[in-house]
Amino acid sequence: MKPYPVPVINGFKVSRKDFLSTSVVKAAAAAVLESDGEGSDDIFRVSARRAGQVPAVAFLVNALSQALPQVKEIRFCQGGVREGYLFSSLPSEIQAQHPLVVATQPFETRGTSPRMADLLLSAFPEGSNTGAHDDYKAVFDRDLVHAFANLMYYHSSHSKDLQATSALRSTTSGCLAGVHGILHESRALLGLMLCARWGGAVPPSDESFKRNLEQVVESRWTLWWINYIGAVAALVSEVYPAGFVEDGGADRMRILAKWDRDEKGRSALILQFSFGQGVDAKALGKAIKAVEKVGKKKKWIGGKDGSGHRVEVIVVQIGE
């Protein structure tokens, strides 16, 4: 996609075929040299000194490809030697922490994000009736959902017009832009999830950026689940407006998700919301309908013949 939406080299992935296409880079580097490092946009932030090293690097790349023919994918690591050495000096328990969770930890709400993550994870049904083409469990693991929970309320102070677009850019040019150790796919996933949590509507100036970010996500099924969990998160935030889930606070809302069949025998995701005393389910009608709409065929990724699932919502008011 052009332009590529993530402006950092750290965490970038490329196929072996693209990695070996050095002729394009060499031509762009030559343009930088001809302009003496100024007035050329062929390679972003590449000086004439760096451009002069491109032929040698291209030679090294071709030599490595012959020495390591089994390598099918290349991941770029900015400052890898220096940071890798420092990382090796950290205690093993710190090394084991997920970088996405650690990076978002400063933004969580009063230490209750793990409980919020548990609630969101309960919206993903156990088992599968969709086959290997929709591997949502492998994508939306606890670390990703925990990081999402950490940032769910970060943009609450923004005006309504800015929330979705600010959330969309939070992982590329916002609060997580300078974080190391995060894959580009994770940046795209989290940015799109946060955007969906605030309704997903962005101004025309950001529409192309959003489409390019979506192309970083490998599966259209994943894009549907992003819209789904974003709508669920918006409903959860209505129940917990301050983002604080106190001890026993889960009794205010419980989520049960499972695969089943609708009245016509079609596969459907059955989603039950149970609200405790003190929560008026009728006042949450708009947010509940937003979750249902994600399951409408016209909201699927690619339209009615695209990727998506029917969603049937059941509301239970406990104590009535």
Question: Do 115 and 83 lie in a common domain?
Answer: no
Residue at 1 is within a domain:
no
Identify the domain containing residue 203 by its residue range. Answer: 99-317
Residue at 94 is within a domain:
no
Question: Do 149 and 271 lie in a common domain?
Answer: yes
Calpha distance 223→229 (Å, rounded): 10
Question: Do 122 and 169 lie in a common domain?
Answer: yes
Question: Do 64 and 172 lie in a common domain?
Answer: no
Question: Do 107 and 76 lie in a common domain?
Answer: no
Q: How far apart are the first and last CA of the chain?
A: 53
The residue out of 42, 63, 87 marking a domain boundary is 87
56-106 pLDDT per residue, tens:
888 888 898 889 888 889 988 877 788 888 989 999 999 999 999 999 999
Residue at 7 is within a domain:
no
Rounded average pLDDT over 6-26: 86
What pLDDT band is residue 110 in, cutting at 50, 70 and 90?
confident
210-226 pLDDT per residue, tens:
999 999 999 999 999 99
The residue out of 59, 87, 115 marking a domain boundary is 87
- Can you give the pLDDT at residue 45? 67
CA distances 146 to 64, 79, 107, 242, 253, Å, are 38, 27, 12, 17, 18
Calpha distance 186→182 (Å, rounded): 6
Question: Do 83 and 110 lie in a common domain?
Answer: no
What pLDDT band is residue 20 in, cutting at 50, 70 and 90?
confident
Residue at 251 is within a domain:
yes
User: Is a pLDDT exceeding 50 seen at residue 165?
Assistant: yes
Question: Do 40 and 161 lie in a common domain?
Answer: no
Residues whose CB falls within 8 Å of the CB of residue 24, separated by 6 or more in sequence, listed in order: none
Question: Do 134 and 64 lie in a common domain?
Answer: no
Residue at 25 is within a domain:
yes
Report the number of distinct structural domains present in the chain. 2
- Can you give the pLDDT at residue 39? 46
Rounded average pLDDT over 170-183: 93
Question: Do 21 and 145 lie in a common domain?
Answer: no
User: Is a pLDDT exceeding 70 seen at residue 37?
Assistant: no
What is the longest distance spanned by two Cα atoms in the chain? 77
Rounded average pLDDT over 21-48: 70
Buried b or exposed e, range 183-192, using 16+ CB within 10 angstroms: bbbbbbbbbb
Residue at 122 is within a domain:
yes
What pLDDT band is residue 42 in, cutting at 50, 70 and 90?
low
- Can you give the pLDDT at residue 277? 83
For the domain that residue 230 is a member of, what is the CATH number? 1.10.3210.10
Question: Do 66 and 188 lie in a common domain?
Answer: no
Question: Do 212 and 262 lie in a common domain?
Answer: yes
